[in-house]
Amino acid sequence: MMKHIWIYVRTMSFILFMSFLLYSVVFVLLISLINNTNWQSLFSRFHSVQMEKNGYLVMDDMRREGITHGPLTEDQRQWLQRRAALYGILLRFESKDRKEVWFDTFSKAKVASSQDSAEVPYTTNGQMQGYLKMEYILSNSELEPAYAEFMKSIDFRSKLLLIGVVIASILFSVFIARVLTKRLKEVYRMATEIGKGKRDVAVPLKGPEEVRRLAATLHEMTKELKKQEDWRHHLMEDLTHELRTPLTTLLTQIEAIIDGVYEPEPERLQDIYEELIRLSRLVNDLERLSEAESARFSLNVRRTNMVELARMVYSNFLPLSRNKGIKLTFEPAFVPCYAEVDRDKIVQVLSNIVSNAIKYTPEGGNVNIRVSYNVEWTVIRCEDNGIGVSEKDLPYIFNRLYRADKSRSRFSGGVGLGLSIAKALAEAHNGTIEAESELGVGSVFTITLPIHFTPYMGEES
């Protein structure tokens, strides 16, 4: 039970609900406090004006009644008592030397005078007779019941309004939280469906901008996952085909020889041998790829002159390019360019790239190898004007067994592992290999290797 509660508390809808509710309640309380303070200020000002007004009215009434000074008669005391109650004030009448108190309702009401009380001199016929101290007490309903009732009404309405606003804030917070998380929940539901293996889920691009971006990213990820799954499916089909074709041919011919259908003639044995070579080449390529992907744990890194290394690869492929009628050129950096690499592995990378360039460049074409460098990197570029790769196929040419033109690749003897091996070996050196190509125009492969090799944790160098 507590686990479910804790999970709900961590949900975005609950967090948004509590955030809006807290903001609304704090805002309402602040407004209520300001409003009450303003009301109190207005009421105090009103009371001060009223008290002063009533005080002067009492003094005028006392003059008309003939009250000049004390001591007062009992009738005069009762008259002042009625007047004070009529005007809603507490009244104290004392002598000018403050030694005698002739009338006092403060003590009768058991209320001590405060800083809100007002004191004025009482004069008759131009002579000062004493002092009148007055104070308006709202808490005493007997003195001013109308004011007290009004204050109770204001207090009740304020509380009722506060409760109503809090309830409205709760409902508004629930509404806003649901509206804002509705699209997020839809994205979560779509992600769950995708996690279960559904790749045809359409993620709607609705809601706030952040949710739209999330949905767009999820949509792109779904498309990429589908492409990867399709690629793995095709990979298994290609691998199965590449293994099954030579095996089927071998089995058919050997069974025919065993059954006496064919004689073990040299030509038939040569066919069997070629199929075995093809099968052996596929297995060797797969083994090389496996070694390349784990090469970062078994690199024999040495400081190597990259210009001389590239020149050696260029020299190795000169005969092949001449036989095919392709012009192979080399542009060195003209200064020694050293980098910490595994010489054999980088030769393998360059050989794969140059071999592909020559293989897919028609007779009369050009292949150029160029070496450049800066303070941090060595850059080797291999550019050709061959058949090129389409924009659709370009992102996948480094995938295992991927072939833009399967029939041509199979007839030319490759199975789509050369570039995968080259990429794995370059990355094992903390480098990169990138391809730019345009169908019918040519391709440029760029190998970037760091000058200084930094081993990974646990890596042998």
List the Cα angle 50/52/57 in 5-degree steps: 90
pLDDT in tens, 1-35: 666 676 656 666 667 777 777 777 777 778 777 87
Q: End of a domain among 162, 186, 218?
A: 162
Confirm whether 178 is domain-assigned: no
CATH number of 398's domain: 3.30.565.10
DSSP string, 160-200: HHHHHHHHHHHHHHHHHHHHHHHHHHHHHHHHHHHHTT---
Confirm whether 138 is domain-assigned: yes
Nearest to 339 by CA among 374, 291, 383, 293: 374
* Angstrom distance (rounded) from CA 314 to CA 329: 8
Check pLDDT > 60 for residue 98. yes
Greatest mean pLDDT among 77-86, 166-175, 227-236 lies in 77-86
CA distances from 204 to 211, 219, 364, 452 (A): 10, 9, 52, 48
Mean pLDDT of 421-441: 89
Confirm whether 438 is domain-assigned: yes
Please give the residue range of the domain that contains residue 76. 10-162
CATH number of 146's domain: 3.30.450.20
pLDDT tier at 358, thresholds 50, 70, 90 = very high
Confirm whether 385 is domain-assigned: yes
Confirm whether 176 is domain-assigned: no
Q: End of a domain among 134, 162, 190?
A: 162
Look-up of token digits 């004011």: 147
Q: How confident is the model at residue 6, as a pLDDT?
A: 65
Check pLDDT > 80 for residue 355. yes
Confirm whether 202 is domain-assigned: no
* Angstrom distance (rounded) from CA 286 to CA 420: 10
Q: How confident is the model at residue 398, as a pLDDT?
A: 83
Q: How confident is the model at residue 1, as a pLDDT?
A: 65
Confirm whether 183 is domain-assigned: no
Q: End of a domain among 162, 193, 214?
A: 162
Total domains, the chain = 2
* Angstrom distance (rounded) from CA 366 to CA 321: 9
Check pLDDT > 80 for residue 93. yes
Mean pLDDT, rounded, of the chain: 78
To the question of pTM greater than 0.75 for the whole model, the response is: no
Confirm whether 250 is domain-assigned: no
Backbone angles phi, psi at 432, to 5 degrees: -140, 160
Indicate left, alpha or beta for 224 from its phi (over 0: left) and psi (-120 to 50: alpha): alpha
Q: How confident is the model at residue 328, as a pLDDT?
A: 94
pLDDT in tens, 66-76: 888 878 888 88
